[in-house]
């Protein structure tokens, strides 16, 4: 016999779920959106979850997906336990009176290696109190989410493999289409949003035919449009994804996929990380038809409004992506001239030797995040869609004192209104009037964009489209509209990317002092 429900109960396609009442919100946690990808379902596209008869408790977050064992804690580290392969769950925050409310789907970051939807900083309460139905999702990561192998491709009706984590995200969006109306959400008004690898995932979803029609707006925070592996070909200096899978199996001392499926998931994940496995989506001609630069360059991306931007101090907390400072200015300038040739004068204008550390940080930031953001804003404008560009240049006392002004992901607690829920080593944000105003502004811009595609915040500057004179919003001491973000930045990195692509070279964080020699 089932006990009487003490929280809100919603009947979805797979069964009824009971959530919690939280100060005017109905909150549901750990709802499965696909079958557990375990045993023979490891490295299979997500399949339908088995239906249940009794009311299922949805008051606790599900397991985080398997991720490498943390060895060197950082400001991003938090306790994500328990973890497991049975992790394909999502969470919903909905206003009590929600009816045809806009839907905001959050995709967490973590380099496609780590992270979880239960990270406290992603609590959807503040956004839900502005009238959104907020959904956050888990998806397979690392070797469990992105391994390709010829034997896996042979199992597929499409002859492809890898991209399982991306297919999980598609399945979660399909769940939203099928079920979100029961929570008061409008399946015809869905915004996908994510930061870092979550922003990269937004780009993958915009480029993937599998996700077409499952969302209607997109927000990409600190996304990076870098080159990725092809499934069956060595391209851009990277072996084919299937070849990488063969190599990983050999190093794991197994001869086939059945053997890999028998290995403990945590041991497999830790071993793959040690061996240098890099989880990225693979260009397979099906799930991901082309390189992202080509999908957006050929105007094949989802025709939806886009809000996109990056942080001025991205690399201050990601110093592993930046090469060391050379011995002197002469060595710096010589290396740049050798690598950039006829582009060197412009490079040195933008990134001078007068402050080599700052120039190196800025080079990596712009090649990954700045160029990507402006390229995306331009691409959506080119297909007649509204695009809104931002630069987050807001510092606060604890971060600035640690040399982390506007560091990677530092905008997230402002967007979610979660100053009190950041990870343990995160520079703490005090809820002072200046910080509260910035958070209220960003919540306003983000929620209004999700509602009707136009970012607005009460009492703050009107945010024009990028197409209006290359306008962008600078979140400094306060939101302020400016024009022409970092003149010359986009053009330099676009030229470098084009030359690399033509020379079959990768484009990512191998820039500046560690750039390959660019073709003329």
Residue 108 catalytic? no
Residue recorded with tokens 């990870």: 423
Q: 108, 216, 230, 408: which one is catalytic?
A: 408
Residue 60 DSSP symbol: S
Q: Nearest 5°: phi and psi at 187?
A: -65, -10
Residue 196 catalytic? yes
How are beta strands 133-137 and 89-95 bridged, if at all?
Answer: antiparallel
Token representation of residue 453: 């595609």
Residue recorded with tokens 């977050």: 61
Q: Nearest 5°: phi and psi at 150?
A: -55, -35
Q: How far apart are CA 484 and CA 333, in angstroms?
A: 27
Contact 405, 316 (CB under 8 A): yes
Residue 235 DSSP symbol: B
Residue recorded with tokens 């994804």: 241
Q: Which residues contact 444 (CB under 8 A, 6 or more apart)?
A: 130, 455, 456, 457, 458, 460
CA 432 to chain centre: 29
Q: Nearest 5°: phi and psi at 99?
A: -150, 120
Contact 319, 312 (CB under 8 A): no
Q: How far apart are CA 394 and CA 396, in angstroms?
A: 7
Q: How far apart are CA 292 and CA 283, in angstroms?
A: 9
Q: 119, 314, 374, 460: which one is catalytic?
A: 314
Residue 20 catalytic? no
Q: 14, 114, 153, 196: which one is catalytic?
A: 196
Return the number of other C-beta atoms located less than 10 Å from residue 468's C-beta.
10
Which among 220, 163, 173, 165 has a CA at the least distance from the CA of 194? 220
Active site residue ranges: 196, 314, 408
């Amino acid at each position: 016999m089932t006990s009487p429900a003490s929280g809100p109960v919603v009947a979805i396609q797979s069964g009824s779920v009971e959530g919690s009442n939280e100060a005017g919100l109905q909150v549901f946690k750990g709802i499965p959106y696909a079958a557990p990808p375990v045993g023979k379902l490891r490295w299979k596209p997500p399949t339908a979850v088995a239906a249940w008869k009794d009311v299922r408790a949805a008051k606790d977050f599900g397991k985080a997906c398997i991720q490498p064992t943390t060895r060197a804690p950082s400001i991003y580290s938090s306790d994500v336990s328990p973890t497991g392969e049975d992790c394909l769950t999502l969470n919903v925050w909905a206003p009590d009176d929600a009816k045809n409310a806009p839907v905001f789907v959050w995709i967490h970051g973590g380099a496609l290696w780590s992270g979880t939807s239960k990270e406290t900083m992603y609590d959807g309460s503040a956004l839900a109190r502005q009238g959104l139905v907020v959904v956050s999702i888990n998806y397979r990561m690392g070797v469990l989410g992105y391994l390709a192998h010829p034997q896996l491709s042979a199992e597929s009706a499409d002859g492809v493999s890898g991209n399982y984590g991306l297919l999980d995200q598609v399945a979660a969006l399909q769940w939203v289409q099928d079920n979100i109306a029961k929570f008061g959400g409008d399946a015809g008004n869905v915004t996908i949003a994510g930061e870092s690898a979550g922003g990269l995932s937004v780009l993958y979803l915009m480029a993937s035919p599998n996700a077409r029609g499952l969302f209607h707006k997109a927000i990409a925070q600190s996304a990076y449009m870098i080159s990725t592996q092809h499934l069956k070909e060595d391209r851009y200096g990277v072996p084919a994804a299937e070849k990488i899978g063969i190599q990983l199996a050999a190093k794991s001392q197994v001869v086939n996929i059945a053997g890999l499926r028998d290995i403990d998931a945590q041991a497999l994940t830790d071993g793959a990380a040690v061996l240098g496995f890099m989880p990225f989506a693979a260009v397979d001609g099906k799930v991901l038809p082309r390189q992202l630069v080509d999908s957006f360059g050929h105007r094949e991306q989802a025709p939806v409004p886009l809000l996109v931007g990056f942080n001025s101090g991205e690399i201050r907390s990601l110093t592993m992506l930046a090469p060391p400072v050379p011995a002197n200015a002469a060595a710096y300038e010589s290396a740049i001239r050798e690598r950039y040739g006829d582009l060197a004068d412009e490079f040195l204008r933008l990134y001078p030797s007068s402050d080599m550390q700052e120039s190196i940080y800025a080079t990596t930031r712009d090649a990954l995040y700045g160029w990507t953001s402006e390229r995306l804003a331009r691409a959506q404008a080119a297909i007649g869609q509204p695009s809104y560009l931002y630069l987050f240049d807001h510092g606060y006392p604890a971060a600035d004192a640690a040399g982390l002004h506007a560091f990677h992901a530092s905008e997230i607690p402002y967007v979610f209104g979660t100053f009190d829920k950041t990870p343990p080593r995160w520079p703490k944000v005090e809820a002072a009037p200046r910080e509260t105003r910035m958070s209220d502004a960003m919540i306003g811009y983000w929620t209004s964009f999700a509602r009707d595609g136009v970012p607005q915040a009460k009492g703050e500057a009107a945010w024009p489209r990028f197409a209006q004179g290359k306008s962008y919003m600078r979140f400094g001491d306060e939101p302020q509209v400016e024009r022409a973000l970092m003149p010359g930045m986009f053009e330099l990195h676009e030229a470098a990317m084009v030359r690399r692509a033509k020379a079959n070279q990768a484009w990512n964080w191998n820039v500046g002092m560690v750039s390959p020699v660019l073709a003329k």
